[in-house]
Amino acid sequence: MTAEPVIDQQGTPGAVALPATVRASLSPSRAADFKTCPLLYRFRSIDRLPERPTVEQARGTLVHAVLERLFDLPSTGRTPDAAGDLVAPQWDRLVTEQPELAGLFDPGDEVGTAEFLRSAAALLQGYFAVEDPRRLEPAERESLISAVVDDELLIRGYLDRLDVAPDGALRVVDYKTGGAPREAFEARALFQLKFYALVLWRTRGVVPRVLRLLYLKDAEVCDYSPDADELLRFERTVVALWRAIEQATARQDFRPRPSRLCDWCSHQALCPSFGGTPPPFPDSSAAADPLRDARSGPVTPGADE
C-alpha cells in the first residue's frame, strides 16, 4: 500500500491537499518526546513553552547548515577547506534569521564566538573522515516528507539528506554532532530514522535500503537496514503512540517520566519530579491547531542528539 505526499493547509508547491479525514499531525521529535516523557511532550506541543537554544544545539544547527550548503558547490570543490570557509558566513546568516542565537555569547565576546566557530569546523573534519562528498550527489537535502497513516494521522519530518542509487535504492542520512550514543540515545536516533523510512515507504513504495547515522564528533557511522515487516510494525507503534497522546490530552494527564535525559531538560522548574508545578492546562478553545506540529520547520539539530 502506498499513499500520496501530503501537507498542511499552508501549502507547498508540488504536494496535494490533506485528505479531509486527517485530524492530527505528528513528527518524529514530538513522538520521541512522548515516549521519553509525556510531560515534556505537553510542555513542547501543548503549552508551547519557549526553550532557549544551547551552545550545543546552535553548533549542531551551524554544522547542518554548512553541510547542506557544501553540496551546492561543484563536486570537485567539496573539500575540507571549502567547508571551513562556509562556517562564518553560515553563522552570520543563522544569527540574522534566528536573532535568539546572538544571545549565546556576550556582546563583544569575540574569543567565545571564535572558539565556537572553531569547534564547528572541528566537527566538519569528522564528517570528512567518514564520507567523501565529492563522490556524492544527494537527491534531497533538508527535505520535508509526509504521509497519512491510519486515515487520520499525518506523519512528517525533515530529512537531513536522501541519497538515491542508480537502481532506485534509497539511503536516508542523518548528521549527529554529538558523540556516538549509549544504547538509550541510539534507540531514539533510530526511532527518528525509522519514522522517515515509514514515510518514504508509504509515499514511494520503496523501503530504504540503508538508514545511516553519521556521528561527526567521533567520526563513526551507524548503518541500519529495515524491512517492510518491521516498518509495518513500526507504523502500528506510531498509531498506538498517537492514540495514547490523544487519551492523555482528553484527560489532561501528562505525567513526568524521570530519566537520565532530565539533565538536559529546559523545564525542570515546572516539573513535579523537581518540585515544580506545571502551568494550568490550556483552554481547549484556545488550543493550537492539531495539524500543526510544535515545530513546523526543521528540528533544531542537536536537540535530539
Q: Is the pLDDT of residue 121 over 60?
A: yes
Q: Where are the beta strands (DSSP E) in the chain?
A: 24-26, 140-149, 153-164, 170-176, 210-215, 220-224
Q: How confident is the model at residue 107 (pLDDT cuts 50, 70, 90)?
A: confident
Give tens-digit pLDDT for 185-214: 567 778 999 999 999 999 999 999 999 999
User: 222 φ, ψ to 5°?
Assistant: -120, 115
Q: Is the pLDDT of residue 136 over 60?
A: yes
Q: Which three cell numbers stand for residue 257?
A: 517520566
What distance in Å separates the CA atoms of residue 223 and residue 163, rounded to the nearest whole number?
14
Q: Is the pLDDT of residue 268 over 90?
A: yes
Cβ atoms 63, 175 nearer than 8 A: yes
Across-strand partners of 213? Answer: 174, 222
Question: To the nearest whole number, what is the mean pLDDT of the chain?
Answer: 87
Amino acid (one-letter) located at 231: L
Give tens-digit pLDDT for 209-248: 999 999 999 999 999 999 999 999 999 999 999 999 999 9
